[in-house]
Structure 1
Amino acid sequence: MSARGRIDAWVERVTGFVTERPRVVIVGFLLITAVFAGGMGQVSMGSSDQTESFTEGIPEQEALDSINEEFQGPFEADTPSTQLIHESENVLSQSSMLEMLRLLERIDQREELYVASTAGPAPAVAQALDPTATTPEQQQRAIRRASETEFRKTVSALAERPGFSRSLSDDFNAREGTASAAITVVTHSPPDQGDHTEEIQTTIQSLAGDGDATVYVLGDGIVQSEMNNVINDSLAIVMPLVVVLILGFLAVAYRDPIDMLLGLIALAMTIVWTFGFVGFAGIPFDMTMITVPVLLLAVGVDFGIHIINRYREETVIGREKIPSMRVALSQLLVAFVIVAITTLFGFAANISSDLEPIRRMGFVAGIGILFTFFIFGIFLPAAKIESDRFRDRYNVPEFDNTPVSSGDSVLGRVLAVPARITNRAPAAVVVAVLLVTAGTAVYGAGVDNTFETEDFLPPEEQPDVVENLPGDLAPSEYTMTATYNFVEDNFETATGEEVILYVEGPFEQAHALDSLVAPNDDPPEPFAVGEHGRAESESIVTVIQSYAEENPEFAALVARNDLDDDGIPDRNLVQIYDELDRSPYGDRASEYLTEDRRGAKVSYSVDAEASQGEIEAAGRTFADDFQYEATATGNTIVFGAVSDIVFESSIQSLALAIGLSGVFLIVVYWLLEGRPMLGVINTFPIIVAVVGLLATMRALGMALNAVTATILSIALGVGIAYSVHVIHRYVDEVGDGTGTQEALLTTLTGTGGALTGSMATTSLGTGALAFAISPVLGDFGFLMAISVFYSFATSIIVLPPTVQAYAQWDGYPK
């Protein structure tokens, strides 16, 4: 038996089972659904730190982690900690410090907050006034008892300590003793059992809101709580909106409440199966996973509309219902298999990514597509047969059982226009499309690629349409973006973007410190932000110089050991380090030199206008200029590396999806029709659509980021279904002896109507992601809607002349 014969025999067996034993099919699928429903309750949230899940395993991130372990900064702690950012007219006034200490007292009184210590300007001033004041209550008493003169002298004395000034905002005026904001760090010592951070910090956030002071609360627990809310709120807003939009368009496409109900049941089963599997498999649900149900609904809607529409095409000409479903299934099952596999290639191509969240999303979406095929290809036809029997048994009327479009309808005539126009010179049209696509590809190749923390954060202020949603749909209150922005704007030393060079060498040897500043004279362009194009850096050298400016004895020690009179000691470095460690600058020195003095950190300011890619490349080049082994890292470098991986993954996934889909389609049409060229023709329109999508992204200033990087292969996976349905219907029509032009017109007026309904529903359904709390999901939904429209348009406009040109060249059909 030939390959075509074996495929036909398989289709006939499946079709016969579904149409002859629909109740068995329905019961079996409902039982499987009940099993998967148990897994949905086991779905767990992924890491609250979305950026961490993308940077894990990146060499630059591992270097940064090592630095964070070896160098302890003023805003870091080994134990769980909460940052309290106090804002007032002057946080260094007695009244403001008493406000902060009253909050610290309320926090200290709550045993469940496990307060171990507090560090900040208010406790520091109080303990300088009274060294025995160890509790917030005692510290308040110390500040109240101090005279104004005594208080001011204490603040002025502490202002000379780097650790004190670095906990104050950038507008800190040491002479006047004023600052508009301060950071106080509360460390906790919870029991080892369980993670109490989220509960601790949300409680502190509540306490801070009850007081008179303006205090922002920041910590891992707050981030975890709010990122979970971002996912839950996004699902709560997007999914009902998707359902409403789908209901509206299914009502137009089906025009029958029972058929529409069947489609919704099938869609719901798809979600239950997929996320039941996620729960059983222990796959964490993170932000990228929000796109999966929307994508599955998009593909499911396409399958559902096609099966019902094709069934109606047969019943409307007078064929009985069971034979009509046999015809519809025998024609569509192969198309559904082709669509499912090519869509699987598009989605699962993301498994090749080097980024774990994208791999997980691709895997889950691929599994979901398989489930979608079985539910819509097997369950829905069986359910349709039983629903029609129910109608006949109880005389339930059909509201409208006509297909979406036909040759006589307005929509059908519009869809046939491209095929009528291009029939005169199809080859010329194809050449023109190729030229335009090539130019568009060159332009689209310049699309930007980024990876930023802001991609994952909810906006500081929600749009009015989201903010005013009723009841349970109203989003949670989000504070972390406003807090991050406030800290970034006011505390440069805490969150400022920087590039860090980790240098390994024997820093107790003579002249070792010169090696840390020598490259600064001729740095790469993004680092040339100082006078005369030099680099601006902070290192153990600048700490030594700062202390020398304040302490004459230390300055004399440095001068005695500065052989070349450049302000940098060249010998007796052990003695200099020891003196520095015993000074008020000791804590700051530990930020730049390891305890064994074999590792040094150098922080560089970079050009704010430089891109991530430019900074990353310059950082690696700069590291090569150091005498000792140096590694460039820091958030900018790490995010730049991830950005590169994001771009590489998107192109790699797209190439893999095109390659697999193209080879598969070529083999399928070679086996089915003996014409592998039909597989190439099938792939051509979706390549045009993806190229157009890239160009649109560049034109709109949108970048490939952690989520939108998946759009290219996913757009191919979703969009290729349109050209598959057109080609498959065309092949069936010419197989009945119809000429190419007539077969195309029949295809476009019949299948084209189902494609139109599917496009409208899918575009608006995926576009509903624009209302997600996270902006990056909104961008994904917007781009997905555009890609679906492009895929539809190219299947209607680009595919007909390509088929016509092939038919003229090859003489197909004969």
Structure 2
Amino acid sequence: MILLSAVVLAGIPMLDTESQAGADASAFEDIDRVQKANYVTEHYDTSQEDSNRTLATVYVRQEDGDVLSKTSLLETLRYQRDVLNNDSVAAVLHDDGIADVANMVAVGLADDPAASLDEQIATLEDASPAAVETQIESTLSNQPQALRLLPDGHDPSNTTATDRRLLVVLNASGAAGGSEGVFDRVDAALYETAQDYSDSGLFVLNQFAYAEYNSHFFGEMVWLVLPAALVLILGVLAFTYRDLIDIVVGMVGVLLSVLWMFGLLGWLGVAAGLVSIVPVVLVTGLSIDFGFHVFNRYREQREASRQRAGDARGDGGIREPMNRGVRLVATALVLVTVTAAIGFLSNLVNPLGQIRDLGVSITLGVIASLLLFVTVVPALKISIDGLFERFGWDRHKRALGHGRFLRPALSRTVTLARRGAPIVLVVALVIGSLGAVAWTDLDEESFQQPDGEVAEWKQSLPDPIGWDTHPVAERLNHVQAVYQPATADDAFRERILIEGDVTADGTLTDLQAGVETISERGVLLDQPGVRAVTSPVTAMQALAQRDPAFRAVFEDESRDTDGDGIPDRDLKPVYDAFYEADSELAGQVLERTDGEYRSMLVRVALDADFADIDQAVADLEAGADRMEGDSDRTATAVGSVAVNVAVLDAIVGGILQTMTIALAAIALVMAVAFRAMHGSATLGLIVAVPIALVLGLVIGGMYLLSIPLTLLTALLMSLVIGLGIDYNIHIGDRFADERREGKTTVEALEAAVTGTGGALLGSTLTSAGAFATIALVPDPQLQSFSLIVVVALLTAFLVSLLVLPSLLVLWERYSPEAVTTEATAESLPQD
């Protein structure tokens, strides 16, 4: 195993920690919105949507100051001068340059639109504060574009503000034919220069700011979580093992399991990615669980061996109990590994490559744990115990669950099953059903955005444990809250595809009514000088203003029966004239194939104030419904926001299908395995049933804890299956073996619950405690992840001790099948 470990661990240098597999486009082709979005790409000229400009934004914020003061305006002009001295910035700067209120004010004071940046700075330096304030008022009142650089809703008469922004306009194709990474160098220049002016409130939110934030966040997370997790894990291990040597040996197995997982990922070419912390934590918890069962069974077997032989020490008192314990516990561990792998590998049907990789990673880690904890760990254990006992140190320890305090507590669950099994089952079904019903009421979010807030007590902890806040997350939320997109290119741009008879009377009137419906719902971008809607109507209106020949056709009163300025009958000649006058513009909003008009396209820029994506899509759909009118036309929202909502719905629906298939597969495996091992397929089904209950309880816990359905939490739903099956198998398998030895139902349950239940308790305390420490991290994604796993572990433990014994009692009472009771002298209870 040492040699094999060396080979496996050689794969770690080959590990891909950067690759992030995206979604398989083909997996979503059956979604209507995806199909129609592809249709738009195939049939419309979208090249004009790709502007030859790209914007980099620099923000100025002074919570207790005035960013429109003379001093602040001068600072941003000097910032511009320093940035423009950078060769990379100068090489890709667009002719539009930098848009800043400071430039507008300085040019106004100089009364020279062509004033250079140095001249602007000199003019502003010489101007009196009163003159500057007067010029600011004039600029805000007469230049609407200046208001785009200020927070949403800023009053033009107000010459003070706490926030504003600068727009650095770059050539989108500036790097073409030039050196690679030019825009990275631009971002670096903007970021580093803003750092020099941070005292004046300047900052940027680009890749370098996020990279620094992520590095800071990871460091703080390690120092906050790792000490707490280690203290908790070691405390539980000390309580469970009550032996330092066993703790060290067990942790060696845990560490090797994680390293094996990464080595196997490297050899197989499976990406670990940025979310590798998830399989690490899960594999750590599962391998600790394996260790508890191996060590607990060894202690039970050694105690039985001593009682039979009266041998207190010696090699014969170590090897044989370990041999028996491992040989017998291995059947349960193999079954746990197989069923857990089914739950984890069910994610192979997930369209997101990252989630598929997670399922593979965890499965490899569990398999590695199985191999190591039935080979390396037992070998280390018997070698160390044999060495110490040769020097006179008795290594005999009592198994957890057999103590005078824990044994009575665990035994009460058997009493509950014996006296009230039907009641327990009814209560469990009611609670589980209520939890499952809560699935439809869970909120759906693509991603949980951190708000940057950190509890004061976390910041008050002594260094290095104390959490030092970083401004990026709070700044991002502030920017999103106070600003509207400066241009339509910066906003979420959605599309509505109208198909069918688009030449029918009333088509354009219905289209405009749909746009007005969307506008009335407040989701359209409302910025001075920014066009929020591009449609056949707006395109024709714009063309009519500059083309007299087309204007005559478009404004023909015979085609406008209601006098609203929009043709509502005899539309085909209007479309023909539109294409004849400007085919390029017409091709962006109107599809003509083989001389027939088959569809229309409406583009809208969304307001930044919408907080609920689902509601924004619902507002777009309301407008689309109005565009359909009473005809056979169809109108569908097919922009990125609408498609993402449809994809998330598909993934959530896929999770339900995945869980159903996984549950069915596990039930089948359990039935076959228990039939082969214990002569009863129905017993295997009974042991598998509580997994569904655990799922229902976890869903109910998500509802009560207000945990939304995201791509990550939806993934965890399938992982719950892999986590929840573990405990039930150990209890069910131990019960069957005790019955095979001829014990009564109650005696078998007593042995299973007190013997195996002790190991399960240690495993639950360790794993749930470790995951609970992750909830200390001020990040909603990680908090949701940790809480779901904690709820899953706790409910799985409680169900295995409270519900499963009652199911087993009822199974014994009413099932026509029975456990094979052909015991041999050598047979011993399995774990």
When normalised by structure 1's length, the TM-score is 0.80
1:116 aligns with 2:98: no
For 1:533-563, what per-residue CA distance to the aligned partner results, in whole angstroms no more than 9, with x for missing partners?
A: xxx9744699899999x99x9xx99997785
Structure 2 match to 1:782: 787
Q: State which of 83, 86, 92 in structure 2 corresponds to 1:107.
A: 83
Structure 1 match to 2:121: 140
Structure 2 match to 1:289: 276
Please, which moves more after superposition, 243-252 or 334-343? Answer: 243-252
1:166 aligns with 2:148: yes
1:204-603 matches, within 5 Å, as: 204-211=190-197, 212-227=199-214, 230=217, 234=221, 237-286=224-273, 288-319=275-306, 320-395=317-392, 398=395, 401-406=397-402, 409-442=404-437, 444-453=438-447, 455=448, 457-467=449-459, 478-494=470-486, 500-503=494-497, 514=509, 516-520=511-515, 538-539=533-534, 563=560, 564-566=562-564, 599-603=601-605
Inter-partner Cα distance in structure 2 for 1:668 and 1:299: 21
Q: CA deviation at 1:692?
A: 1.3
Q: CA deviation at 1:636?
A: 4.5
Inter-partner Cα distance in structure 1 for 2:303 and 2:90: 73
Inter-partner Cα distance in structure 1 for 2:221 and 2:48: 38
Structure 1 match to 2:728: 723
Q: Helix, strand or coil: the match of 1:446?
A: helix
For 1:465-494, what per-residue CA distance to the aligned partner results, in whole angstroms no more than 9, with x for missing partners?
A: 544566666667543322322222222345
Structure 2 match to 1:705: 710
Inter-partner Cα distance in structure 2 for 1:261 and 1:198: 47
The letter of the residue matching 1:119 is I
8 A Cα contact 1:423 1:804, kept in partner? yes
Inter-partner Cα distance in structure 2 for 1:522 and 1:217: 36
When normalised by structure 2's length, the TM-score is 0.78
Inter-partner Cα distance in structure 2 for 1:45 and 1:228: 18
Q: CA deviation at 1:741?
A: 1.4
Please, which moves more after superposition, 354-363 or 186-195? Answer: 186-195
Inter-partner Cα distance in structure 1 for 2:736 and 2:319: 24
1:691 aligns with 2:672: no
Cα distance, 1:569–1:396 mapped onto 2, change above 3 Å: farther
The letter of the residue matching 2:281 is V
Q: Helix, strand or coil: the match of 2:680?
A: coil
8 A Cα contact 2:18 2:274, kept in partner? no
Q: Helix, strand or coil: the match of 1:186?
A: strand
Q: CA deviation at 1:237?
A: 4.5
Cα distance, 1:169–1:283 mapped onto 2, change above 3 Å: farther
Q: CA deviation at 1:460?
A: 1.4
Q: Helix, strand or coil: the match of 1:293?
A: helix
Inter-partner Cα distance in structure 1 for 2:567 and 2:416: 82
For 1:681-730, what per-residue CA distance to the aligned partner results, in whole angstroms no more than 9, with x for missing partners?
A: 11122222221111122123222212111222212211211010011111
For 1:180-223, what per-residue CA distance to the aligned partner results, in whole angstroms no more than 9, with x for missing partners?
A: 43322235656865546566535533432332421231224433
Backbone CA RMSD of aligned residues: 4.7
Q: Structure 2: give runs of 5+ residues left out of the alignment.
A: 307-316, 526-530, 593-598, 822-831
The letter of the residue matching 2:74 is L
Structure 2 match to 1:5: none
Inter-partner Cα distance in structure 2 for 1:761 and 1:254: 12
The letter of the residue matching 2:255 is A
The letter of the residue matching 2:292 is I
Inter-partner Cα distance in structure 1 for 2:266 and 2:105: 52
Structure 2 match to 1:14: none
1:44-55 matches, within 5 Å, as: 44=18, 46=20
Inter-partner Cα distance in structure 2 for 1:546 and 1:560: 9
Q: Percent identical across equivalent pairs?
A: 23
Structure 2 match to 1:201: 187
8 A Cα contact 1:715 1:784, kept in partner? yes
Cα distance, 1:600–1:634 mapped onto 2, change above 3 Å: closer
The letter of the residue matching 1:519 is G
Inter-partner Cα distance in structure 1 for 2:79 and 2:578: 39
Q: Helix, strand or coil: the match of 1:701?
A: coil
Cα distance, 1:725–1:561 mapped onto 2, change above 3 Å: same
1:616-631 matches, within 5 Å, as: 616=617, 619-620=620-621, 622-623=623-624, 625-626=626-627, 630-631=635-636
Q: Helix, strand or coil: the match of 2:202?
A: strand
The letter of the residue matching 2:443 is N
The letter of the residue matching 2:414 is A
Inter-partner Cα distance in structure 2 for 1:412 and 1:395: 30
Inter-partner Cα distance in structure 1 for 2:651 and 2:122: 55
Inter-partner Cα distance in structure 1 for 2:161 and 2:800: 63
Inter-partner Cα distance in structure 1 for 2:299 and 2:476: 57
The letter of the residue matching 1:269 is L
The letter of the residue matching 1:104 is Q
Q: Helix, strand or coil: the match of 2:60?
A: strand
1:662-701 matches, within 5 Å, as: 662-701=667-706
Please, which moves more after superposition, 389-398 or 712-721? Answer: 389-398
Q: State which of 756, 760, 765 in structure 2 corresponds to 1:760.
A: 765
The letter of the residue matching 1:272 is L
Cα distance, 1:29–1:623 mapped onto 2, change above 3 Å: same
1:185 aligns with 2:147: no
Inter-partner Cα distance in structure 1 for 2:350 and 2:789: 20
Q: CA deviation at 1:604?
A: 6.0
Q: State which of 747, 750, 753 in structure 2 corresponds to 1:745.
A: 750
Q: CA deviation at 1:646?
A: 4.1
8 A Cα contact 2:151 2:164, kept in partner? yes
8 A Cα contact 1:498 1:636, kept in partner? yes
8 A Cα contact 1:430 1:801, kept in partner? yes
Please, which moves more after superposition, 479-488 or 139-148? Answer: 139-148
Q: Helix, strand or coil: the match of 1:316?
A: helix
Inter-partner Cα distance in structure 1 for 2:589 and 2:474: 34
1:42-81 matches, within 5 Å, as: 42-44=16-18, 46=20, 63=37, 70=47, 81=55
8 A Cα contact 1:197 1:221, kept in partner? no
Q: Helix, strand or coil: the match of 1:707?
A: helix
The letter of the residue matching 2:72 is S
Q: CA deviation at 1:639?
A: 4.3
Please, which moves more after superposition, 363-372 or 753-762? Answer: 363-372
Cα distance, 1:690–1:560 mapped onto 2, change above 3 Å: closer
Inter-partner Cα distance in structure 2 for 1:475 and 1:659: 45
Inter-partner Cα distance in structure 1 for 2:45 and 2:84: 28
Structure 1 match to 2:796: 791
Q: CA deviation at 1:514?
A: 4.0
The letter of the residue matching 1:766 is F
